[in-house]
């Protein structure tokens, strides 16, 4: 992305308001804030398509998932997937692809074409599991521009605009949202060099950081050059290839996130999830 330096003349009080927003995380500098506000006002930036991966069996949540897909289990009276759609709609991402498999008919029955939720939903159905990478590959004919990928079993509240802008500013193939966890023994921990992810260490005994994959990615269509045929994992097979090209970036964020794989995770989410704000 080519940028040019310009000069602006502004009222001093307005400059103070802009500078008060600089926090080193969401807004790194005065120019970053001004660019962000102009883009939002002009409506010329932002991701428009999202793929939600919702095909897994959820064996860790049995017996509940014998009859309910794990992505449809209720949190405060609403399915997990409905919170994903609410988050996407908040950031005007209304073209949504749902990759479904196990008990997928229940997902289709609830969401339909998405119109009652203010979005458009297209379904990709896996007759046999293709892995996270294979599911993305199946959706390739529908993904010809920058898009989001979300793991359907997570609950997350994240500023999608900031994630997208970070991705575009740094010329990545994939940018992964990273969250922190005090106990990372059950997760892949991101090894970082600057803002680049060099590797994920699975279930480390002596972790060097507490940053883990939050299951939300901004992705360029060039990812399909890295995905072969058959069952493929994004995390184990594709991301290491992209990292080796120094095109895999990490975006730390601090808002709510829950990975719901077990009954204990489910119970915690019911107690603590505050919804999309």
pLDDT in tens, 203-257: 777 767 789 999 999 999 999 999 988 888 898 889 989 999 999 999 999 899 9
Residue 197 phi, psi dihedral angles, 5° rounding: -90, 125
To the nearest 10 degrees (0 to 180), the angle between helices 80-90 and 160-169 is: 60
- Whole-prediction pTM: 0.83
Domain boundaries, the chain: 12-41, 48-272
State how far the Cα of 9 lies from the Cα of 265, in Å rounded to an integer: 52
- Ordered per-residue pLDDT tens for the chain, 277 residues: 445 677 778 777 777 777 777 765 556 677 766 766 666 665 556 889 999 998 777 676 676 767 788 888 899 999 999 999 999 999 999 999 999 888 888 999 999 999 999 999 999 988 777 888 989 999 999 999 999 999 988 999 999 999 999 999 888 999 999 998 877 777 778 888 989 999 877 777 776 778 999 999 999 999 999 998 888 889 888 998 999 999 999 999 989 999 888 888 888 889 999 988 7
Contact of 89 with 124, CB cutoff 8 Å: no
| CATH topology assigned to domain 48-272 | Spore Coat Polysaccharide Biosynthesis Protein SpsA; Chain A (3.90.550)
The answer, yes or no, to whether the previous bond of 63 is cis (omega within 30 of 0) is yes
Contact of 176 with 213, CB cutoff 8 Å: yes
User: Looking at the chain, how many residues does it have?
Assistant: 277
């Amino acid at each position: 992305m080519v940028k040019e330096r310009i000069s602006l003349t502004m009222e001093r009080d307005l400059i103070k308001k802009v500078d008060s927003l600089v926090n080193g995380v969401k807004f790194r500098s005065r120019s970053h804030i001004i660019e962000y506000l102009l883009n939002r006002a002009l409506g010329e930036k932002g991701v428009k398509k999202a793929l939600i991966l919702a095909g897994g069996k959820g064996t860790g949540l049995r017996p509940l998932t014998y009859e309910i897909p794990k992505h449809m289990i209720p949190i405060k009276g609403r399915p997990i997937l409905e919170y994903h759609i609410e988050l996407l709609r908040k950031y005007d991402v209304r073209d949504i692809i749902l990759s479904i498999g196990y008990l997928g008919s229940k997902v289709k029955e609830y969401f339909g074409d998405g119109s009652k939720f203010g979005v458009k939903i297209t379904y990709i159905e896996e007759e046999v599991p293709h892995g996270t990478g294979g599911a993305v590959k199946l959706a390739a004919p529908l993904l010809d521009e920058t898009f989001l990928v979300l793991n359907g079993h997570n609950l997350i509240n994240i500023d999608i605009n900031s994630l997208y802008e970070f991705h575009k500013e740094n010329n990545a193939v994939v940018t992964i949202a990273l969250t922190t966890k005090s106990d990372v023994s059950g997760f892949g921990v991101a090894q970082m060099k600057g803002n680049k992810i060099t590797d994920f260490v699975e279930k480390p005994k002596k972790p060097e950081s507490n940053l883990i994959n939050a299951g939300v990615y901004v992705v360029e269509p060039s990812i399909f050059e890295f995905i072969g045929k058959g069952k493929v994992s994004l995390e184990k097979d594709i991301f290491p290839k992209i990292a080796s090209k120094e095109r895999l970036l990490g975006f730390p964020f601090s808002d709510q996130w829950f990975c719901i794989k077990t009954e204990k995770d489910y119970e915690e989410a019911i107690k603590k999830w505050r919804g999309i704000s």
